[in-house]
Structures are given as structure tokens and as C-alpha cells.
Amino acid sequence: MLTRWIWRLRDASKQLWFTVAVYCVVGIVTALSALVLDPLIPMDVSSKIGADAVDRILGILASSMLAVTTFSIATMVQAFASAGSVATPRATQLLVEDRTAQRALATFIGTFVFSLVSIIALSTGTYGPSGRLVLFVVTLCVIALIIVMLLRWIDRLSKLGRVGETVDQVERATTAAIRARRKRPYLGGHPAVEVPAKTHPVFAARIGYVDRIDMGALASIARENECEVHVHLLPGGFATPDRAVASLSKALDDEFNERVGRAFNVGDARSFDQDPRFGLIVLAEVASRALSPAVNDPGTAIDVIGTAVRVLHEWSLPDEDGESDKVEFPGVFVPPLTAQELVQDVFTPIGRDGAGLIEVSIRLQKALRSVAAMESPGLRTAARRQALEAFERGEAQLGHAHDKQRLREAAAWMRD
């Protein structure tokens, strides 16, 4: 149960409203902190600062921050729509969670709330002379913070919603997910074994995509009942009433079956956290949209191919810390994520949609050659298989003999 609350808190912290709410609370506390610090300021120092000066500055802040916030929200909405139309709607999730944009908007709204609360307190005579001095100093600090945030926000606006920046955000999220899975290939459990014939399936409480698995809860159930839990659906799998999420080595009562089902957090859409395949699928969607006749942008598809090579290179890196073999949750058996799945997820759609373009086909062969050269037998086999498939598609769709010859030369590495 604690893990589920941690999940919910983590998901909430990625949302825009959460960051804005935190900054608003900070703004209110900052505005009222002058009341606490009032007795600590000498009277002769505080008398040099008049309330009118602070009041005018706060009035300017309140009016300007309201306008800047309105403009920022409109810009963000436009960026979300742009990313969904020119890249893929699945990538807008990362734009919503963009920390720079969230902090900028939260700073503007928090400053507005700070100014509003301070103006109200000044109007009611809540602050004494020392309190006005503290408020003046705090206001100057807030202005400096706004200047820094405005500079960062202007720089972010020049990139937000563009295809290249969206691809970079997807790459960062996918690389992080692959790095985490590479270090814990079985999510902290045992490698999957052949499931015994007489196991008892457990189904999820609802239909949807598994986005997280509470391995601690599954290990606790296995320990309490001295049984084994065999996981069938990894994060990203689609749970249905006829598809078991896990199997138990012995029959348990309904209470424990429900606990097993609740350990699989099921949502309406896939997420990037524990699902590396989803990031690669989103990259492939960006490339497929770029290769569509309506867009006709093979350059973006070529850029995505290079991005996919960098992401897969993370998968091929060795485990220097030796954490991949560490079993944190005994009694739970988890199937691995295979290199074949990763390669197919990102390169199959690109090879299909770009087979008729010689520049895309050649770049794809070079990329797969690079993947095959990585220190991973799984990637090597998957890349060669995918290269053969892409070559056959290109041979079938390319109409010019010269283009076919160039493709054969690019694919000659498969004979080595």
C-alpha cells in the first residue's frame, strides 16, 4: 500500500498543478514571513523604507505576472498541440512533465500570489515598519528570481514543441528507462523459469496497460504463503480478463489473489517509467509520421534512426556494478526484456514506411550495422534479422535499378 502511495505522489509531482500549488504555498509563506521576522529588525533601519515604495513594486509585480502567466499558458497549450500534430500525441506526456516549463509557470503564479497576499497585508496594516523592510528585501529577491526564470523560459520557448526537441525528450526518457531495466533486468526478482503446469492464474482488476509492478508486494505474498509468483505481463503489457498478469504456484484465497492483482498498476495508457519499449515505439511513431505523404520529411526519420542507435547502445553496455544479478525480491520470477523486441519496436515501422526512399533505406542499413557491432549477442542477432527484413522491403519497393544497387552495397555487411 505504501508503494502505491509513493507512485501516486510521484505521478502527482510530475503534473503542472502540483508544482504550481507548491510554489503558491511558498509564495504565501514568504509573504507572511515578514511578520515573524518583524521583531528581529532594528527600528532605525526599518524606518528608512516606506510602505508606499513596497506597495508600488508589489502592484507592478501582481499585474505583470498575471499577464505573463496567461501568455505562458497559451504558449504551452500551443506547444502541446504542435508536438501532437508534427511528432506524435504520445510525446505530449513528456511536454506536460517538462520541469523547466513547470517551474517557470509556477514561479509566475507563485509571484502573483505572493504579491497579492503582501498587498492585502499592507492594506490592512498587518506589517509594522520592520515587517515592511523584510518585505522589501524579499521582494527584491523575488524580482531577481523572476529575471533568471524569464531568461530560462525564453530559451525554453525557442525549443518547446519542435520536432527535434520532442525527439530529444523522448530519447532522454527512453534512455533512462533502458538504463534502469539494464541494471535490473528482472525488476529485482529471479529470472523467469518454465512455468509449472499446475499453476493458478491471477488477473488484473481492470482492463488496461500495466505501467508499474509492485515487486515488494509480490515478494511479500510469496514469503507469507511460501509460494512462487510467476509474472507474465511486464510494464507495457495489455491486461484483459482472459490474460493472466501472473501465476501462483499454489492456490490462495481471494484476498491474496486480489493483492496480487493490485500489485500490477493498470492505467489507460502506457508510461515511460518502467516501459523502455514504449519510448522506442514513440520514436518510431515520430519517424512514421515524418515519412507519411502528408509530411514527407525523411530528414526527421533519419534523425530518429540515429537516436535509436544511441538508445540501443545504452542497452548493450556491461553491468559494471554487478547489480543485474542481485535478487531483491525472492519468490518472484520475471521474464526478461529481449533485444529482439527493442529492435523490432523502433526499426520495423521505419523500415516499412521508408522502404521506398533510398536515403532512408541506406541510413537504416548503416544504423543496423552499428547495432550489430555492439557488445550484445542479442542485439547482434536482432539487428541482422531486421536488416534482412528492411533489405527485402527496399528491394520490393524501390523502382530504379541504380537505387537497388546502392541498397545492395549498403546491405553487403550482412554477408560478412
pLDDT tens readout for residues 292-326: 888 888 999 999 999 999 999 999 888 766 666 78
pLDDT at 285 exceeding the cut of 70: yes
The model's confidence at residue 134, banded by pLDDT at 50, 70 and 90, is confident
- Is 315 found in the same domain as 229? no
- Is 153 found in the same domain as 236? no
Decide if 34 is inside a domain: yes
Decide if 68 is inside a domain: yes
Predicted local confidence at residue 350, as pLDDT: 94
pLDDT at 128 exceeding the cut of 70: no
What's the rounded mean pLDDT across residues 33-58? 61
- Is 62 found in the same domain as 201? no
Decide if 328 is inside a domain: no
Which stretch of 126-135, 199-208, 257-266 has the lowest confidence by average pLDDT? 126-135
- Is 238 found in the same domain as 96? no
For the record, the C-alpha cell of 202 comes out as: 491471477
| CA separation for the pair 118, 120 (Å, rounded) | 5
Predicted local confidence at residue 127, as pLDDT: 66
Predicted local confidence at residue 131, as pLDDT: 67
Domain boundary among 130, 161, 192: 161
Decide if 75 is inside a domain: yes
pLDDT at 51 exceeding the cut of 60: no
pLDDT tens readout for residues 91-118: 877 877 778 888 888 888 888 888 888 8
pLDDT at 270 exceeding the cut of 70: yes
Note if the pTM is more than 0.75. yes
Burial class (CB in 10 A: 0-12, 13-18, 19+), 166: buried
- Is 343 found in the same domain as 241? no
- Is 96 found in the same domain as 18? yes
Decide if 167 is inside a domain: no
Q: Which domain holds residue 205?
A: 184-267
Decide if 332 is inside a domain: no
- Is 261 found in the same domain as 292? no
Predicted local confidence at residue 47, as pLDDT: 52
Predicted local confidence at residue 305, as pLDDT: 95
Predicted local confidence at residue 393, as pLDDT: 92
When divided into structural domains, the chain yields a total of 3
- Is 125 found in the same domain as 55? yes
What's the rounded mean pLDDT across residues 50-76? 79
- Is 140 found in the same domain as 45? yes
Decide if 106 is inside a domain: yes
pLDDT tens readout for residues 340-382: 999 999 999 999 999 889 999 999 999 999 999 998 889 999 9
pLDDT at 229 exceeding the cut of 70: yes
Q: How much of the chain, in percent, has pLDDT values that exceed 90?
A: 23
- Is 16 found in the same domain as 155? yes
- Is 153 found in the same domain as 15? yes
Decide if 330 is inside a domain: no
The model's confidence at residue 49, banded by pLDDT at 50, 70 and 90, is low
- Is 144 found in the same domain as 41? yes
